[in-house]
A and B are shown apart, each in its own frame.
Chain A
Amino acid sequence: MFLLGRRQALALAAWSATSSQAWANAPLTPREQELYEAAKREGEITWYSGQYSADSSEAAGRAFNARYPGVRCNVVRSTSQVAFQRLSQDARAGVGQCDVLSSTNSGHLLQLKRQNRLTQYRPVNADGMLPAIRVSDPDNYFQTTFLGIFVMAHNTNLVPEADAPRSWTDILEPKWKDKLAVGHPGYSGAIGIWALQMRNMYGPDYLRRFEANKPQVGRSSVDPVTMLNSGERAIAVATATGTILLSASRGNPLKPIYPSEGVLAAISPSGIIRNAPHPNAAKLFMEFQTGPAMSMAVRELFADSLRPDVPPPQGSRPLDQVTLLSPSMEEAERGVPEIREQWREIFGI
């Protein structure tokens, strides 16, 4: 586990408001231009992603198509574990279909690197990212492309703010029995990271006590939002701020809760698969993800920006005011499959 230092967090939060829509239409950098020419001959790029929500992923895909006409982005959005499972099935069949994998479980990328299944590439645009996330892998096999801040949320009609839980341990109290909703580490990468972080902080008993409150288990970390909107459950556990704010902006009675210990920061990478059928388009897509155009596109849907030149989405709490919690990548690679198995033993599913 590591906590981002205050200075790093400050750097992370050093957004400037100088940017504008112009960024999305900004001229291509020389590297982009060069890759774009080569990518046009390949025609498309296939993106297996579990990072941004369905809406944001589609918006990112459309922004890519608009910025690089003639190269089409195939958005294959699912939960991160499912995306990784698809990649594994491809590999098992010896078929190369995926160009870029994006996962909320950084352990996935570390594993692929170790198995020599990634292509080294350092996007030039990464130099303009927030200092704290500029370098994800010292060997440049993968690059941070998603900054997921996972918090809790409450349905404001069912639970007033004063009564809402304030910390990750509050939800273990019996009064929240049958009121909680959560995703599943067998599907969602972020939930695997979250469960691991909770075990690291509060010991192996945490999941068992959490289970005693009978949370409704979905698949994605987004599922709890649906359960809250409908009134089926009152408290969402470990859901991305972007999803909560987007849903609230559509008129649903939702409000994020920033737990007192800190938020789960899923600093999530993407990498180019070694047998990618469209290698140049894949590199172009990495430039796109680290450049301002994608941050602009997903910001509209309340996902966090990766760059100081693109302002954070409306309504999200500045990152220098929150503590960021996260297991290390090595812990994630080893720990998530382990915790997934524990989860299945405890929850029976």
Chain B
Amino acid sequence: MSASTDTATLAGSQRPSRLRLLEPITILWVALIAALLVLVALPLLKMFVISFEEQDTGVFTIQNYLTAYGRQRYLDAVRNSLLLGTLSAAISVVLAVPMAWAVSRTDMPGKGFTWAIVLAAFIMPPYLGAIGWVLLAGPNSGWINVVWRSLTGATDPLVNVYTFTGMAFVIALHSFPLVFIFVKSALDLISSEMEDAANILGGGTWVTMRKVTLPLVWPSILGGFILIFLETIALFGTPAIIGIPARINVVTTQLWQFFEDPVRVEVASAFAMPLLLVTIGLIAVQKLLLARKGFVSQTGKGGERRQVKLGPWRWVLFGWCVLVALLSVVKPLMVLLQASFAKAWGRGFSFDNLTLRNYQFLLFEHDMAPQAVWNTVWFSATSATIAVVLALLVAYIVVRRLIRFADALGFLAMAPFVIPGIVMAIGFYAAYAGPPLSLYGSALLIILAFASRFLPIAYASSQAAIRAVHPEMEEAARILGSGRLHAIRKVTAPLLKTSLLGGWLVVFIVASRELSAAIFLVGPRTRTMSVLLYDLTEQGNFEVVSAFGGILLVITMAIVGIGMKLVGRDFMLRRE
């Protein structure tokens, strides 16, 4: 009797002490897990589940897979996407690696210029580049072909954008900055001693570059290659603008067809599943390729980094950079600007063809354009904030190893990195568009999708930044009686301000131009600039489309300008 009373009192006294064990950090951990489940795991899980469900009844079936893969045309779309991804990534590597090497390791002139071009190519949305190249390289009317014909008298076009290689090339022209960033930052770390060793053993500049320098940055090249491959197979705008006239069906345009009436989310999910397998496979291949070799270039023993003297060759490399600049930025931008100020772009440049009407129409007469501009700004800002806050907390827990299974958090935060944007959008549609939440068309749904899609960018930058802050500064605060969250707020966060702002800006910029994740989620009042731009491209009015593209670029450039002012001019190209 007394024993049982004892237990009761014991239990009674234990309960509050257990609650006291529940540190705020544990609650935070639970909240973070919940957030990541909502943002990353649930949409994918839901998509996986419904890919095996019959529409309306929900009965288990594999019919969706049979439908999705039961036609030659659908299989062709998969093949086309894989080829397109590979080709675009390969062209990007060819474009970017010499530039990265030249900027990082040599005495090539015009490094600032090259750097600016890479930045410009990065902030230009790919579908704008595609429109620019339609104006440049249409087989009959493209400027390049018109000039070519008048110079040579030839009848055949020199270049044709409406081809497989044409499309891959246009995509590569706006993807190569990723390879550049990856490879340049790896090259920056290699000390000249390794190259000196090769030189001493009789290798010239080229042999050394080929046999020593480049192999050392092989992981970065591969990383950039895979990233571009993933971005390419998820692109929607360029295949719609160039691929349809070129008659090339790809996975994204095919997924769009599954959303025709009657909407077959189940079949679309089944069709998208192998894409996920491909990306997971690629990451595995990357791990395998890199596993057995050492790529350590940072030894902690200092080592100086000298520039390779190229002699006259430096002008050849500079010429290469100028060429890439012309193709990726200068020319498309010129034709877009010309078209945006033209009454009829087909008439070319003349003073009586100039007008501000296109801008005036969009800014003052168009029902949706100003709304879309505002949507883009606040969706991007909100999703960037969510992503950065979430990433910061996760990174903090992971880096400081505050709890067990912290790595699981990190894994979830990085997972969207390998999920094509359009697949993510279908997952969000499947999970949250309908009842019980019925978020379809709401701003919240789009913001969550953006935050999820770009979480890895924010996470990577937060992680690197937190690593760089030694825990002893926080510990000092804690010794003086501050709680952990208080210490984070007062000590760690201020130290990280600059890098966090950098991460925020990068997420803002990529979110402001995102099309494929938005296209299945927007409603009438929540269209973003990218979606409205896509709608405008099917209305046969390139002048207005170009003007809207001009407005988008001005906004992005303003943000980039602010970023440079606040964070330093290399904030977008820094890879921590």
Contact = CB atoms under 8 A, between A and B. Distances in A.
B541 A349 contact: no
B205 to A, nearest CB: 46
Given A217-B245, A222-B539, A230 B345 contact: yes
B247 A349 contact: yes
A218 B435 CA distance: 36
Interface in B519-539: 520, 523-525, 527, 535-539
A226 interface: yes
8 contacts: A54-B539, A58-B365, A79-B538, A85-B263, A88-B261, A93-B433, A344-B73, A349-B247
Given A76-B524, A225-B540, A344-B73, A95 B368 contact: no
A58 B366 contact: yes
B524 A48 contact: yes
A111 B261 CA distance: 11
Given A58-B367, A97-B524, 18 more contacts: A48-B524, A58-B361, A58-B365, A76-B368, A85-B263, A89-B263, A92-B265, A92-B433, A93-B438, A217-B244, A219-B537, A226-B542, A232-B138, A247-B344, A251-B344, A252-B346, A252-B347, A348-B247
Q: By CB atoms of chain B within 10 A, which of A79, A90, A184, A347 has the most?
A: A90
A186 B257 contact: yes
Q: By CB atoms of chain B within 10 A, which of A89, A219, A231, A247 has the most?
A: A89
A226 B265 CA distance: 34
A25 B488 CA distance: 64
A84 B524 contact: no
Q: By CB atoms of chain B within 10 A, which of A54, A81, A88, A247 has the most?
A: A54
B440 interface: yes
B249 interface: yes
Contact of B434 (A75, A92, A219, A231): A92
Given A186-B257, A348-B73, A349-B249, A97 B441 contact: yes
Interface in B78-137: 135
Interface in A76-115: 76-79, 81-82, 84-85, 87-95, 97-98, 111
Q: Top 5 A-B pairs ranked by shortest CB distance?
A: A222-B540, A93-B440, A93-B433, A54-B539, A88-B261
Given A220-B538, A226-B542, A347 B247 contact: yes
A292 B553 CA distance: 40
Interface of B: 73, 76, 135, 138-142, 162, 240, 243-245, 247-249, 253, 257, 259-263, 265, 343-347, 361, 365-368, 429, 433-435, 438, 440-441, 520, 523-525, 527, 535-542, 544
Contacts of B525: 46, 74
Contacts of A77: 535, 539
Contacts of A205: none
Given A74-B525, A218-B540, A224-B540, A251 B347 contact: yes
Nearest to B260: A85
A243 B73 CA distance: 33
B541 A54 contact: yes
A81 B257 CA distance: 11
Contacts of A217: 244-245, 247
Given A219-B538, A251-B347, A73 B524 contact: no
A345 B73 CA distance: 8
B484 to A, nearest CB: 42
Contacts of A216: 162, 245
Contacts of A243: 540
B539 A220 contact: yes
A219 B261 contact: no
B346 A62 contact: no
B433 A95 contact: yes
A111 B260 CA distance: 14
A187 B538 contact: yes
Interface of A: 46, 48, 53-55, 58, 61-62, 73-79, 81-82, 84-85, 87-95, 97-98, 111, 184, 186-187, 216-220, 222-226, 229-233, 243, 247, 250-252, 344-345, 347-349
A344 B259 CA distance: 16
Contacts of A88: 259-263
A349 B244 contact: yes
Contacts of A89: 259, 263, 429, 433, 440, 520
Contacts of A184: 244
Nearest to B527: A76
Nearest to B357: A250
A27 B409 CA distance: 64
Given A81-B260, A89-B440, A90-B440, A218 B344 contact: no
Nearest to B525: A74
Contact of B536 (A54, A111, A349): A54
Nearest to A79: B538
B438 A94 contact: yes
Nearest to A226: B540
Given A95-B441, A349-B243, A223 B346 contact: no
A229 to B, nearest CB: 4
A226 B540 CA distance: 5
Contacts of A62: 365, 367
Contacts of B345: 229-230
Given A187-B538, A232-B140, A219 B244 contact: yes
Contacts of A85: 259-261, 263
Contact of A61 (B257, B263, B346, B367): B367
A232 B540 contact: no
A74 B367 contact: yes
Contact of A251 (B73, B343, B361, B438): B343
Nearest to B437: A93
Given A62-B365, A231-B140, A218 B538 contact: yes
A32 B247 CA distance: 48
A218 B247 CA distance: 10
B141 to A, nearest CB: 4
A93 B429 contact: yes
A220 B545 CA distance: 15
Contact of B539 (A53, A75, A84, A98): A53
Given A54-B539, A220-B540, A230 B263 contact: no
B524 A74 contact: yes
Contact of B441 (A90, A247, A252, A349): A90
Contacts of A84: 261
A73 B367 CA distance: 8
A60 to B, nearest CB: 10
A99 B554 CA distance: 34
Contacts of B162: 216
A98 B524 contact: yes
A82 B162 CA distance: 23
Nearest to B264: A92
Contacts of B365: 58, 62
A127 B438 CA distance: 40
Contacts of A97: 440-441, 523-524
Contacts of A74: 367-368, 524-525
Contact of A218 (B138, B245, B524): B245
